[in-house]
Every structure is written in structure tokens, then in C-alpha cells.
Amino acid sequence: MNYGYIRVAAAVPQIKVANPEYNAEQIISLIKEAAKNDVELLVFPELSLTSATCGDIFLNKKLIDSAEQALSGILTACSDNTPLIVLGMPVIVGNKTYNAAVLFQNGKILHIIPKSHLSQTEKRWFSSGKEISSELKMFCGQDTMFTSHYICQSGEITITAGIGEDALSANESDCDSLIREANIIAMPAAYPEVAGRYSRIRSCISTMSEKNHTGYVFASAGVGESTTDYVYSGASIIAENGKIITEGERFNDSGSLTISEIDIELLMHERRSDNGFNRPNNKTDYIHAEFSRKVQKSIKLLRKINAHPFVPADKDELSERCIEIFNIQTAGLIQRMRHTGCTKAVVGISGGLDSTLSLLVTVNAFDKSGLDRKDIIGTTMPGFGTTDRTYTNAVSMINSLGATFMEINLKQACLQHFKDIDHDIDNHNTVYENAQARERTQILMDMANKNGAMLVGTGDMSEIALGWSTYNGDHMSMYNVNCGVPKTLARYMVAWIAMKQQGDIRNILLDVVNTPISPELVPADKNGNIKQKTEDLVGPYELHDFFLYNFMRHGFSPSKIQFLATEAFGEKYGKGTIKHWLTIFFRRFFSMQFKRSCSPDGPAVGSIGLSPRGGWIMPSDVAAGIWIKECENLQD
């Protein structure tokens, strides 16, 4: 099972200028190496069979004939079990010479695509293929079509080639239409290196792949090209939907293969989800041809799967993300308080991660609004499971940040409530836990009313996804600043804020980051440590955030999510463990929609949100059977 992936490669052969025979030998070697690595699409640079720097020799028919003869040798040598190959070379049609890409597989030429967008220098030797609709040509002893309106297809995979600027010129209707028809763009190129050009090309490929929800396989001329006026670096890039999946080493002194996978299932989901992309396509006269794929029972990905998709791997990007989200949370709270006329806020502080982030956002909002931090009422409410560690951190944090400290013990109110409803105090079931959570919310709501204040919520997006909150308890607030922040990112945000602080507050925040996640609703162990650890009960949040991202962002099935999680986490979690928590994720995600359907307002901070007002719209009684059944049938 390939889970929607196709393995692709950009090949940069070591070549000699105007020596097709030698170049063919290098190309054959790379084709065979790619086949051994299960590559299904292989892209060579522009004019790589002759070299791109032949100059006026391109006008000599001897060179063109030699290139055709060399291609015949490649077709003979690579007649079995090869990838779909895109190879750049000059081709004569009628009285004109074209800069072309030949598409072939298993010794058979499928098509020849001419380059349309030529520089002034290229026009000295080549004609543009822009005006050619389609033309039958005998080439290497085979009948083949010569046109730029061509799609190579296998199932949902649709591939076309765009030589150099052809692949980046989506402003023109024909190019735009063709690129939107295909979901993988093979891009043979021959860009000479000048300062800043590679960065521009890299950025263009990333932008185009995101705009059109496509994969790009870019291979540019390299070692062996003439350096009379320019140097060619042999750049190679594989991109997908705005992300650079991998790129080869530039200025490599030998032939190279850059191999990775493109996720067709992801691209098709993005296209279905983007109504702006799905505008009518007026160009329908494409020539389609089938290419064959290797039958694979399973695939081991070469590309790296990010185990924490909500958390950027690059430190600078992570810092930038934290700043942006913190500012979004702050701006949302400022506007809500301004609209309601509130100049005070109530925040329930447990000493845990989420309430800490909410308090930090509230402090930042008050500072930016010129309000006194003393009008933030930080309320801690010890219950039957509160430990010294979290209590101490809560008290110290409120005081260190200059908020007003309030402590209200839950125990007597809950004992009276248990007596009223005839509940055994020693029965630590859902009633025992939820009574404390609802008592806390009642206190916070009433404190907000008493002080004319805004009750700021604390529940994060991961908890909202799993329904890990008490209905009409911690589920409710007047404005929830954390609703768009997943648990894995919340931990980094608090740590990021901590590192910008000085003195005691820094150490307090770092200890909060390292405290086990717990609602602390059942008594501590005999040593006073947290006994009720959320991740022991509901599962590791890093797994659930991984499941949530891949289900909501890409619409992946349970089987693909399990496969990706196995790839991402390696030996940390076995397939059986992933299956167990994945099943729980889908059960909880679907069954807990009723809590999300009446959740309080709060700011979206990323591409995924669970607000019932636009982030995630789903009936509360939707059937989850097809997802649960697939989870149960997964291999352990």
C-alpha cells in the first residue's frame, strides 16, 4: 500500500558539452540507479542529452542527429522496469529546432513537449512551441505526438512537463490551465547561477506549488556545462503544496539523484477543499497517455514526517510563530474587553500549562491597554487532588505577575454537594470529578459577575478536540483565548515566554512546562505527587495533536494516519499503541462534538480551528462508524 505517495527524483548527470554519446551513458546510469530505488518519476535537466551550453552548435544538424541516436541507445538500454522519464534535448520538427522534453518509459516514447517561453538568447537557436497544438512525429523509429498540451496519467496522478520558465508562467491562460490540470509538474531547467537567483527560483516553486496544489520536481543543469560565461550549479528541488520537501546539494562535482515522495492524496484533498482553485477550466483538448506504476505492497518513506506538525522545527520560525499567536490571543482579548466595556478579568489558575498561558495573555492584554494588572483576579481553587507543586506555582505566579490573588477552597462546597445528591465521597467516579470542575466554573463566573469582569477561558484546542473538559464546567467561559492553540504548541509558547522573563517568574514558568498534565480531581498519591495524569487516561497529546492535524488539515484516513505516525515517531510508539490511541481519538472526536457546538468565542490562530461558527462545522450526532471500523481493522 503506498498511501497516495509517488516516489520521484531529480537527476543531474555529469555531462560533456556537445557529447550526446557520453551524456547518454551517464543518464543510463542514473536511470538504473533510480529504478533500484523504486523511483516512479525521474526528471533530468533541460537539454541534458547535449548540454545546455552548446551555443551556436545547436544550429548544426549533426548535433541534433547525434542526440536522437543517443536517445535511441537509452531507450534500448532502459526498456524494462523504468520510471517515467523526462529528459531534455533539442528536437527538429519541420524546419525548426525546439528545446524539448521527451517523456518515455520502458523503451517507449510517450510524448515530446516543446518549450514555449524563450529568452532572447534562446531565440537565436530555438523556436517557441507556444503555437503548436499537436503534431505527429516519427522520432527514434517511433510514432509520437509533439505538443505542449499533454498530460501523463495513472489513476489520480497527472503529470506534465514545463521546461524552465514554462513551469512558472501560470499567468498565461494555456500554462495556467495545463498546470492546474496536472498535479505534478516535471521541471527540467538550465538556470545559470547568479547571486540571488536560486533563492528566487526556490521561492517561485514553493509559491506555485502552493497556489496550484501541485508537486514540483525541478532539475537544473550542472556539472560539465560550459563555464565560459556562466556557472551551472546542478540545483534540484522537490516541492509539494508550498513546502520544499527536499533539495539536492548544489555545485556537486559528480552526478546526483535527489529522491523523495509526493503525496497525491494530500494534493487532491487540497484541491477539493479550495473552491477558488476549482474554477471552470476552459482548456479541454489535452492529450492524455497512461504510464505504468510499480506494484508495491508497502512503502518506506524517504521524506521526513514531522511528529509535531503544529510546532515548527526551525527555532527562528518557532519563535516567530509564538510571537504571532501570542499577539493574536492578546488582540482578541483586548477587542472583546473593549466591546463589553470590561476593565477587569478573572482567570482560574491551577498551576498547569493552559491556565498559565491564559494568565500570560491576559497580563499582556492589560499592559497593552494601559490597564492595571491588579484588576486581573487570579483565582486558585484547591480541591481534593491539588498538589503542593501546582498550588505553589499558582500562588507564586499570580503574585509575581502583579495580579490580585484570590484563593477559594472547593472542598466544603463539594462535600455539601455530595451530601445533597447522596454521593459517596470515596467513590472517585465522574460525578466526583465533574462536581469539582463545575464548582470551579461557578465560582469563576460569579467572581466575574461580582467584579464586572471578563472570565477568560483556559481550555486548549487539543482538549476541545477530545472533549476533555466538563460540560458546563471548564468547558465554559466568557472568552477563551486558548481555543486555537494545541497542547504541543502551548508548552513551547509558555517556555518561549519564560525565556524572555527574569527572576522568579522565569523559574516558575519553566516548572509549569515540566509539570505532568492533570486536572487534579482525584487525591494525590501517598507522597503528595500527581496521581491523575491526563496522558495516562486519554493518551499522549503529541499523538493526538498529530492525529488531529492529519485528519483535519489533510482529510487522511485512519490507516494513513497510523502509517504516518509510525514513520514520524519511530520506535517511541509501536503500531499497536498508535492504533489504540487513534481509535480513542476518533471515538472522542466524533462523540464530543456536542461540547464544541456550544463552545465560547475565542480567536483562531492557525489553519485548523474547532469553532462551530466556521472552524469545524459538523452535526453533534454524526455517525463515526466508518472511521471507527477502519481503526479497529488496523494491524497492531
Question: At which residue does the C-alpha cell 505538443 appear?
Answer: 147
Say if residues 110 and 144 touch (Cβ distance below 8 Å): yes
Q: What is the mean pLDDT of residues 89-118?
A: 94
Instruction: Say yes or no to pLDDT of 394 above 80.
Output: yes
Higher pLDDT, 281 or 185: 185
**Rounded to an integer, what distance in angstroms lies between the CA atom of residue 600 and that of residue 477?**
6
Say if residues 44 and 86 touch (Cβ distance below 8 Å): yes
3-state secondary structure of 629: helix
Instruction: Say yes or no to pLDDT of 173 above 70.
Output: no
CB within 8 Å of 434: residues ≥ 6 apart = 470, 473
Say if residues 107 and 80 touch (Cβ distance below 8 Å): yes
Instruction: Say yes or no to pLDDT of 575 above 90.
Output: yes
In the chain, the percentage of residues whose pLDDT exceeds 90 is 83
Spatial CA neighbour of 396 closest among 527, 510, 521: 510
Query: Which of the 8 DSSP states describes residue 471?
Result: T
Question: At which residue does the C-alpha cell 470551579 appear?
Answer: 440
Strands 404-407 and 184-189: what pairing?
A: unpaired
CA dihedral 365, 368, 373, 379 (to 10 degrees): 0
**Rounded to an integer, what distance in angstroms lies between the CA atom of residue 362 and that of residue 345?**
8
Q: In which element (H, E) is residue 9 found?
A: strand 5-12
Query: Which of the 8 DSSP states describes residue 193?
Result: B
Strands 142-146 and 150-154: what pairing?
A: unpaired
Say if residues 25 and 58 touch (Cβ distance below 8 Å): no
For residue 512, which amino acid is it?
A: V
**Rounded to an integer, what distance in angstroms lies between the CA atom of residue 588 and that of residue 586?**
5
The cell numbers describing 462, all together, are: 487539543
Say if residues 86 and 42 touch (Cβ distance below 8 Å): yes
Q: What backbone torsions phi and psi does residue 496 show, to the nearest 5 degrees? A: -65, -45
**Rounded to an integer, what distance in angstroms lies between the CA atom of residue 279 and that of residue 302?**
34
The cell numbers describing 362, all together, are: 491576559
Q: What backbone torsions phi and psi does residue 524 show, to the nearest 5 degrees? A: -70, 170
Q: What is the mean pLDDT of residues 558-573?
A: 96
Q: What is the mean pLDDT of residues 33-62?
A: 96
Which residues does residue 10 pair with via DSSP β-bridges, in sequence order? 43, 258
Find the range with the poorest average confidence among 96-105, 197-206, 236-245, 520-529.
520-529
CA dihedral 144, 147, 149, 153 (to 10 degrees): 20
Q: Confidence band (pLDDT; 50, 70, 90) for 296?
A: low
Query: Which of the 8 DSSP states describes residue 553?
Result: T
Q: What backbone torsions phi and psi does residue 145 show, to the nearest 5 degrees? A: -95, 145
Q: What is the pLDDT of residue 174?
A: 52
Instruction: Say yes or no to pLDDT of 167 above 90.
Output: no
3-state secondary structure of 332: helix
Find the range with the poorest average confidence among 268-272, 392-396, 535-539.
535-539
**Helical residues (DSSP H) of 138-172, grouped into ranges:** none
CA dihedral 134, 139, 141, 142 (to 10 degrees): -30
Give how far Cα 394 sits from Cα of 278, 342, 388, 483, Å. 51, 24, 10, 21
Q: What is the pLDDT of residue 134?
A: 74
Q: Confidence band (pLDDT; 50, 70, 90) for 279?
A: low
Find the range with the poorest average confidence among 141-145, 377-381, 513-517.
513-517
CB environment 495-531: b (16+ within 10 A), e (fewer): bbbbeebeeebeebbebbbebbbbbbbbebeeeeebb
In the chain, the percentage of residues whose pLDDT exceeds 70 is 94
Q: In which element (H, E) is residue 219 found?
A: strand 215-220
Spatial CA neighbour of 189 closest among 263, 93, 122: 122
Spatial CA neighbour of 390 closest among 526, 242, 516: 516
Instruction: Say yes or no to pLDDT of 171 above 70.
Output: no
| Whole-number average pLDDT of the chain | 92
3-state secondary structure of 491: helix
> Which value, in Å, is the radius of gyration of the alpha carbons in the chain?
30
Say if residues 247 and 260 touch (Cβ distance below 8 Å): no
**Rounded to an integer, what distance in angstroms lies between the CA atom of residue 432 and that of residue 439?**
11
Q: What is the pLDDT of residue 519?
A: 61
**Rounded to an integer, what distance in angstroms lies between the CA atom of residue 152 and that of residue 130?**
19
Specify burial of residue 433 (Cβ count, 10 A radius: 0-12, 13-18, 19+).
buried
**Rounded to an integer, what distance in angstroms lies between the CA atom of residue 369 and that of residue 389?**
32
Whether the CA torsion 24, 40, 575, 536 is positive or negative: it is positive
Q: What backbone torsions phi and psi does residue 8 show, to the nearest 5 degrees? A: -130, 165
Q: What is the mean pLDDT of residues 382-406?
A: 94
- Residue count of the chain: 636
Q: What is the pLDDT of residue 300?
A: 87
Q: Classify the phi-psi angles of 492: left when phi > 0, otherwise alpha if psi is within -120 to 50, otherwise beta.
A: alpha
